[in-house]
Amino acid sequence: MLTRVTILFLLACFSMIAVAEQQVSSLRASADQSATRIVIDLSDRVEYQVFTLNNPHRVVVDIADTTLKTELNQSALTHGPIQHVRFGTRQGNDLRLVLDVNQKVTPKAFLLEPQQGVGHRLVIDFPGVGKSAEQLTAKNPPPTHTKPKHVSKTAPQSYRDVVVVIDAGHGGKDVGAIGAKGTYEKDVVLAVSKKLAALINAQPGMFAVLTREGDQFLRLRERTRIARENHADLFISIHADSFHNHQAKGSSVYALSQRGASSEAARLLAEKENAADLIAGTDVDEKDEMLRSVLLDLSQTGAIKESIAVGERVLRKMKGVNHLHKNHVEQAGFAVLKSHDVPSILIELAFLSNPSEERRLKDNKHQNKLAHSIWGGVKDYFIDTPPPGTLLALNDAKHVIRSGETLSGLAVRYQVSMDAIRSANALRSDQLRIGQAIRIPTHVGG
């Protein structure tokens, strides 16, 4: 009896430890001529990893079992080489900080124990990279009687990455579809998602965030929260289909619909995917979720159009790898796609219920082909319509006119003047044709 009680006590203690979560209470940075330092204040000692990425230069800080409990004050963090800081969630519980830097750096990180009333801290130094003499004297410049120099509007500025959030469907207790040979959907989609993320991260000017990197359960609202917190330019949810008819086959791409499903199959699929939260005892259709996700505003209408545009490109690329279940982007009310202002698509790689497709989905080479095909469509979309302010937009963008688009609308979207668009395309009138390719100038002198 004593042994049993002891075991139960230990299990209870382990459970409390397992759910313990550290917090980041503040971040601050400073720089002098010799170095730049960023200090992360913590509630307790943590496990962490710091590494760098190139093209463009970034420093990634992963902190295990930790959440951010403060707002990121960019003005307090942009010192020395640090241009911008953003954050996201990894593996459900881990915090990821991404520091955009303007040059190659060699960070040195270490933990400081509490002392003199100050708690645990993670310190990251960038030796040899600090403020220039001009920056150090900027607050107290020497007196001058010369005429101020003209500052060009095309002076170099900080450009951000295109952020793509990749959501591997299901996970943990929610295994998703199960193939005839026992293949779990959650495992297949995670493998393809990781391959897709690697391809995106290898592309200069793009950065991928995975909603999960291991086998854990995430509610639907947690997945969309990750997209919002990382200011995603695109959200991709990856799944594998199943059907009672084992002959059903092919890949599908879905986007959100405001007016019901585009087919009965799309409606049934949305109901199945939206039921994922019921496994954890939380109905995704509870009142507050419905209010937030069903009352779609005009900005989301625009996001739906972009979702269909990127979905069409992905579908065309997937056609070269796998049979298409439907050769057009289907639409339905997927809860996981209801993230305001973020173009979002849901991809069904193939049917796990089809023995032949199950076998291919488990094959590493075929998974690579699927990831490359999705990546090809995503890349084509962002090359054609790079978001303003991103590295991909450094070169003039090309925009293909779709129904309902106007010259004034393009000017607002790309943050350039109508005159600049007219000049770049030698337009004699403001009338645009569907299918017309318009060059969007992203650098306009002044």
Decide if 328 contacts 315 (C-beta within 8 A): yes
Q: In sequence order, which ranges of 169-248 are alpha helices (DSSP H)?
A: 185-201, 220-229
| pLDDT single digits (tens) 119-159 | 899 999 998 877 644 444 444 444 433 333 333 333 334 46
Q: Is the pLDDT of residue 76 over 80?
A: no
| Sole residue written with tokens 């060699």 | 106
Q: Is the pLDDT of residue 320 over 90?
A: yes
Q: Is the pLDDT of residue 235 over 60?
A: yes
Going by pLDDT thresholds of 50, 70 and 90, the confidence category of residue 442 is low
Going by pLDDT thresholds of 50, 70 and 90, the confidence category of residue 206 is confident
Q: What is the pLDDT at residue 77?
A: 84
Average predicted confidence (pLDDT) for the chain: 76
| pLDDT single digits (tens) 279-288 | 344 333 332 3
Task: Give me the half-sphere count of Cα atoms (radius 13 Å) on the Cβ side of residue 350.
Answer: 30
Going by pLDDT thresholds of 50, 70 and 90, the confidence category of residue 188 is very high
Q: Is the pLDDT of residue 375 over 90?
A: yes
| List of residues 6+ apart from 346 with CB closer than 8 A | 236, 237, 238, 239, 253, 254, 255, 273, 334, 336, 337
Residue 20 and residue 196: Cα distance in Å, rounded?
32
Q: What is the pLDDT at residue 397?
A: 66
What are the DSSP calls for 260-303, one per residue? Answer: --SSHHHHHHHHHHHGGGGGGT--TTSHHHHHHHHS--HHHHHH
Domains identified in the chain and CATH numbers: 20-127 (2.60.40.3500), 162-384 (3.40.630.40), 395-440 (3.10.350.10)
Phi, psi of 5 (to 5 degrees): -65, -40
| Sole residue written with tokens 């003199």 | 116
Which has more confidence, 132 or 72? 72
Mean pLDDT value of segment 11-38: 70
| pLDDT single digits (tens) 84-131 | 888 777 666 788 888 888 888 999 999 888 887 788 999 999 988 776
Q: What is the pLDDT at residue 7?
A: 44
* Region of residue 342 (phi > 0: left; psi between -120 and 50: alpha; otherwise: beta): beta
Q: Is the pLDDT of residue 290 over 60?
A: no
Highest mean pLDDT (candidates 14-23, 44-53, 434-443): 44-53
Q: Is the pLDDT of residue 259 over 60?
A: no
